[in-house]
Amino acid sequence: MGDIPVGHKIIVGFNPQPGLIDSIRSALPGEDLEIVTATDDEALAQALPGADILLGLRLNPDLMPLASSLRWIQTISAGVEKLVSPALVDSDIVITNASGAHAPQISEHILAMLLAFARNLPTAYRAQLNADWDYDTIAGGSFELEGKTLGIIGLGDLGDAVAVKARAFGLDILAVRNRPTAKPAYVDEIFLPAQLPELLSRSDFVVDTLPLTPNTRHMLGAAEFSAMRDTAFFFNAGRGGTVDQEALIFALQSGAIAGAGIDVTDPEPLPPESPLWKMTNVIITPHTSGYSPRVRERFARIFLDNLARFHAGEPLANVVNAAAGY
Task: List the catalytic residues.
Answer: 239, 268, 287
* Cβ pair 210, 178 in contact under 8 A: no
DSSP 139-203: HHT----TT-EEEEE--SHHHHHHHHHHHTTT-EEEEE-SS--PPPTT-SEEE-GGGHHHHHHH-
* Cβ pair 58, 300 in contact under 8 A: no
**Cβ neighbours of residue 207 closer than 8 Å, sequence gap 6 or more:** 110, 150, 151, 152, 153, 159, 162, 235, 236, 237
- Is the preceding omega at residue 104 within 30 degrees of 0, hence cis? no
**Cβ neighbours of residue 129 closer than 8 Å, sequence gap 6 or more:** none
Kindly report the backbone phi and psi dihedral angles of residue 33, in degrees, each rounded to the nearest multiple of 5, phi listed first.
Answer: -115, 130
* Cβ pair 172, 150 in contact under 8 A: yes
How many CB atoms are closer than 10 A to CB 114?
A: 25
Distance between CA atoms of residues 238 and 157, nearest Å: 12
- Looking from the CA of 99 toward its CB, the CA atoms found within 13 Å total 21
- Is the preceding omega at residue 267 within 30 degrees of 0, hence cis? yes
Distance between CA atoms of residues 154 and 201, nearest Å: 17
